[in-house]
Amino acid sequence: MQKLQYIHHNPIQEHWQLVKDFKDYKWSSAEFYESGKDIFEIIHDIGIM
């Protein structure tokens, strides 16, 4: 979970500043983990595997 949080929060880091909210980064699975919405239709919850 620590690694997943790191990856999800990377786009909002000061040196990147790609988005204001990490869930808004298009290529992130963060939206899936927050809402269950899988826009790519390929994401699997790591807790289930």
Predicted TM-score (pTM) of the model is 0.61
What pLDDT digit, counting tens, does each position of 6-43 carry?
999 999 999 899 999 988 998 888 988 888 888 888 88
Q: How confident is the model at residue 48 (pLDDT cuts 50, 70, 90)?
A: low
Contacts of residue 6, Cβ cutoff 8 Å, sequence gap at least 6: none
- CA-CA distance, 19 to 45, in Å (whole number)? 23
